[in-house]
Amino acid sequence: MSTPRAALAPAAVSGSRTSRRSSSPSPLHRVAAALTALVLGTGLALVGIAAPASAGGEGNEGKVCANLDTGHKSDAVGASFTIEAPEGKLIAEVCVKAGSDNQGDGPVSTTYDPPVASVIISHPSGKDISHYSVRYVDVPVEPEVVKVEVEPTSVDPCGTANDSYSQPSDTTAITWSVTGSVQSGTVVLTAATKLGFVFEAGAQKVWTFTFTNVPCEEEPEVIVIEIVPTSIDLCGTIDDGFTAPTDTTRIDWTVDGTVASGKVVVSAVAAAGYKFADGAKTSWTFEFTDDPCEVEPKDPTLEGSFATGTCVADSPWITFDVKLTDPDKQSTGNTASLVLTDGVNTETIKLGELENGSLKGEVLWPGASVDEDGTANGWPGWALVGDKWVETDGNFAWTRGAITAKLVVNPEVPVTISYPKATPECATGPTTTPPGGGEGGTTTSHDGAGLASTGFAGTSIAIAAGAIVIAGLAFLVVARLRRKSA
């Protein structure tokens, strides 16, 4: 019986040692556990850093823009895009969508009052435009101002039988309407313009005639024409016209011919029981010519022209589109220029000669330069001193502040332009290292924006690389412990 107990003793001792190791880990085990915890913590940190990059993806469903005049258009490039109205139209409303409505990137509509010929569209989120839709309105036509050249007249003798009034004939620009009657005692004649015409402000358009019924003495046998026909013959035929008195119980009036034919004859015929005095004039002949009217030439305009600052390959450029409208050849120049000023400094940039009334292209911003390969090597407000870029008040630094601008040919038109802002893909100034340098130094552009991003996250990659190294060390330590335990 003693022998089996002696044989069991080593096993008991061995078991006791195993229990002590599990309750009090060796230094190597503690190192392995710490390394494993660090790897897991680093992995969680990386997940926390990467998570925002996947939020708001294009896979989210959202509302779309209303189907306006253009329908959904997807030709926009980037986060901003210039659209122009077709000939005879203006832009009244634009809807822009950049992504999911659930992520705040859904459709956003903007109305323009008054409507505009062109506009740069973007989404408030700053994201690239996925699609847009446009509503157009017709370009308003300026109506022609006309006057009432021939006014109506009236006569109110005794009684009512011979009361009458004259109503001017309709013209190409004006129509006449009558309410009331001589018998009722009141007649109102109203002039109204036809489509494309308008009366000048304050012009009389309504004439009211009142007719009394004072008893007449015995009517004479001989009658007199008290209202005679009249006419007017101006340049062209739009405002040509005539008046013919209305019939009475004593006189009947007849009209032969038309203004358009060039001749009108108005005649008076005495009613039964009446006659005109011998030699009285009873017929009027009016002739109308069609001599052309002198037209005031229209002033030339630069409507629809624009100039804007853009960033291309880390250089500031000015993109322009000049459109000269000069139907009557009034412009005395053909060279387009852009004039910039801040109220103190002024710079005139020659853009070039117009061809068929238009010119478009781009020029470098004042103070900017590129080498023969197109690489940016100069920016306004910066100077290269030795091997470092230094910000300066010279080299057109003022153009990066508050400026006004105008496009000049003859005529000229003001335009809104400002120094282009840097984007993650395009810097508009040299990169510099703040004083002190070293760790914590941030590479910045001229306007304080971070160095143009190309999508590379340097910090995240460094952390990932460190985690891989730590994981390898942990693996080696654990493997060594296993071999030692074996």
Note the pLDDT of residue 6.
34
Distance (Å, rounded) from C-alpha 193 to C-alpha 110?
36
Tokens 């053909």, located at residue = 334
* Boundary residue ending a domain (287, 310, 331): 287
Answer yes or no: is 132 within a domain: yes
Taking residue 5's Cβ as centre, other Cβ atoms within 10 Å add up to: 9
Note the pLDDT of residue 33.
47
Distance (Å, rounded) from C-alpha 449 to C-alpha 438?
19
Are 220 and 317 within one domain? no
DSSP state letters, 132-163: EEEEEEEPPPPPEEE---S---EE--STTTT-
Note the pLDDT of residue 295.
80
> Alpha helices of 341-452 — where are they, by DSSP H?
none
Are 124 and 189 within one domain? no
Are 389 and 408 within one domain? yes
Answer yes or no: is 348 within a domain: yes
Are 464 and 362 within one domain? no
| Backbone CA torsion sign across 211, 217, 218, 224 | negative
Q: Under 8 Å CB-to-CB from 139, ≥6 apart: which residues?
A: 88, 89, 90
Note the pLDDT of residue 474.
64
Answer yes or no: is 316 within a domain: yes
Print pLDDT tens along the chain (486 aa): 433 333 333 333 333 333 333 344 454 445 444 444 443 343 333 333 333 333 333 333 458 999 999 999 999 889 999 999 999 899 999 999 998 878 888 999 999 999 999 999 999 999 999 999 999 999 888 899 999 999 999 999 888 888 999 999 999 999 999 999 999 999 999 999 998 899 999 999 999 999 998 887 666 679 999 999 999 999 888 889 999 999 999 999 999 999 999 999 999 999 988 999 999 999 999 999 988 888 888 889 999 999 999 999 999 999 999 999 998 888 888 899 999 999 999 999 999 999 999 999 999 999 999 999 989 999 999 999 998 999 999 999 999 999 999 999 988 989 999 999 888 878 888 865 444 333 333 334 444 333 333 333 333 334 445 556 566 666 665 566 666 554
The pair of three-digit structure tokens given for residue 320, joined into one six-digit string: 């322009």
Distance (Å, rounded) from C-alpha 187 to C-alpha 89?
45
Answer yes or no: is 62 within a domain: no
Answer yes or no: is 13 within a domain: no
Q: How crowded is the C-beta side of 51, counted as CA atoms within 13 Å? A: 7
Note the pLDDT of residue 332.
83
Answer yes or no: is 2 within a domain: no
Segments forming the whole domain that contains residue 38: 24-49+457-486
On whether the CB atoms of residues 4 and 453 are closer than 8 A, the answer is no
Which H/E stretch holds residue 397?
Answer: none
Are 251 and 334 within one domain? no
Helix (H, G, I), strand (E, B) or coil at 372: coil
Note the pLDDT of residue 14.
35
Are 441 and 307 within one domain? yes
* Boundary residue ending a domain (227, 254, 287): 287
* Boundary residue ending a domain (140, 157, 189): 140
Are 149 and 136 within one domain? no
Are 239 and 172 within one domain? yes
Distance (Å, rounded) from C-alpha 183 to C-alpha 163?
9
Are 32 and 101 within one domain? no
Domains of the chain: total = 4
Distance (Å, rounded) from C-alpha 81 to C-alpha 133?
12
Are 408 and 443 within one domain? yes
Query: Is the preceding omega at residue 380 within 30 degrees of 0, hence cis?
Result: no
Are 79 and 162 within one domain? no
Beta bridge partners, 321, equal: 306, 360
Distance (Å, rounded) from C-alpha 356 to C-alpha 325?
10
Are 193 and 226 within one domain? yes
Answer yes or no: is 318 within a domain: yes
Beta pairing, strands 118-122 & 358-364: unpaired
Answer yes or no: is 15 within a domain: no
Pairs from 284-290 (Cβ < 8 Å, separation ≥ 24): 284/228, 284/229, 284/231, 286/229, 286/231, 286/233, 286/242, 287/233, 287/262, 287/263, 288/231, 288/233, 288/237, 288/240, 288/259, 288/262, 288/263, 288/264, 289/233, 289/262, 290/236, 290/237, 290/262
pTM: 0.36
Q: Under 8 Å CB-to-CB from 35, ≥6 apart: which residues?
A: 470, 473, 474, 477
